[in-house]
């Protein structure tokens, strides 16, 4: 089933993200234990990350996506990066996913890695989207979007035009990068609407339960930190239990506001932490 067909049925889509072991030698059983707990939340789908630059483990990603679909009867969304892959390599990965029962792909460019040579077949995510749409029309395609603009974009206009190009190439729906200020997300939705982007857009929410996560997130995606968020970190950052509970409460507050304002969906970056995901779901399940 294409995930996009779940949208527009009078409910807010609620989805989760998990990551498989980075190396083939790592124990995959730990992910299955996580899935045992996460699937009890009954999400609309679960996305499975994919490492770029030749350092990832495609086999584990495919296995995890397959077990989500076949064992837990939940739709899976497999991430796929393209910057360092040839068309032949992309074909192999997509066919691995298809053979495993995965029908949906999150098409990504992937991060630039100075230690890994980029190839010439796919320069942007929009190139990958166009390729999948033409060669694998039965596959559902999701794309990423950036409420605070992509760190490599020149400005908001440049960023939204590139996103429009990706959507026009064949993206079915979008998942946003994490953000901590809902007003930034609402302004992004306005820009997307003005640009004629009319596909569903899920809000990406990452609960911050550890103060050490913050700098890594800011470096990774350029997310700005609202004053109330920074105050929370200052007050509870040295108390692990209090920080965990405060991070859950902050994420719940964001989600309640987003749902009240008619968001298409909530995509929860779980960091493979079923306790945090379950606590958030318990607080918002009657709102979905």
Number of H helices, E strands in the chain: 10, 8
The whole-angstrom separation of Cα 111 and Cα 123 is 11
Catalytic position from the list 17, 75, 148, 279: 17
At 67 the three-state DSSP class reads helix
The whole-angstrom separation of Cα 19 and Cα 78 is 10
> What residues are paired with 174 via a beta bridge?
143, 201
Burial 44-75 (b: 16+ CB within 10 A, else e): bbbbbbbbbbeebbbebbbbbbbbbbeebebb
User: What φ, ψ does residue 15 adopt, rounded to 5°?
Assistant: -130, 165
Q: Could you tell me which of 31, 64, 28 has the C-alpha nearest to residue 48?
A: 64
At 110 the three-state DSSP class reads coil
Annotation says 17 is catalytic: yes
At 220 the three-state DSSP class reads helix
Q: Could you tell me which of 172, 269, 276, 277 has the C-alpha nearest to residue 221?
A: 269
The upper half-sphere exposure of residue 69, i.e. CA atoms within 13 Å in the direction of its Cβ, equals 23
Q: Could you tell me which of 138, 155, 50, 125 has the C-alpha nearest to residue 98?
A: 138
Q: What is the dihedral of CA 244, 247, 248, 249, to 10 degrees?
A: 120
The residues that are catalytic are: 17
């Amino acid at each position: 089933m294409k995930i996009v067909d779940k949208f527009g049925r009078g409910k807010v889509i609620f989805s989760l993200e998990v990551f498989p072991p980075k190396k083939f030698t790592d124990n995959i059983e730990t992910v299955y234990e996580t899935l045992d707990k996460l699937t009890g939340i009954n999400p609309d789908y679960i996305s499975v990350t994919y490492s770029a630059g030749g350092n990832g483990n495609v086999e584990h990603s495919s296995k995890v996506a397959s077990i989500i679909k076949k064992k837990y009867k939940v739709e899976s969304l497999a991430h796929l990066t393209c910057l360092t892959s040839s068309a032949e390599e992309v074909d192999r990965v997509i066919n691995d996913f298809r053979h495993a029962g995965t029908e949906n792909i999150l098409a990504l460019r992937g991060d630039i890695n100075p230690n890994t040579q980029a190839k010439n077949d796919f320069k942007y995510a929009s190139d990958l989207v166009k390729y999948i749409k033409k060669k694998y029309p039965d596959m559902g395609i999701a794309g990423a979007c950036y409420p605070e603009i992509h760190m490599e974009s020149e400005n908001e206009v440049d960023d939204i035009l590139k996103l429009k190009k990706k959507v026009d190439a064949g993206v079915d729906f979008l998942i946003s990068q994490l953000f901590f200020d809902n007003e930034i997300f609402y302004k992004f939705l306005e820009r997307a609407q003005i640009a004629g982007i009319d596909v569903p857009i899920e809000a990406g929410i990452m609960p911050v339960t550890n103060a050490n996560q913050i700098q890594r997130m800011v470096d990774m995606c350029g997310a700005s930190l609202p004053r109330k968020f920074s105050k929370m970190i200052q007050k509870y950052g040295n108390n692990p239990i209090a920080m965990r509970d405060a991070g859950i409460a902050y994420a719940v507050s964001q989600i309640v506001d987003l749902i009240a304002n008619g968001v298409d969906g909530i995509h929860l970056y779980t960091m493979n932490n079923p306790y945090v995901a379950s606590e958030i779901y318990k607080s918002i399940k009657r709102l979905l």
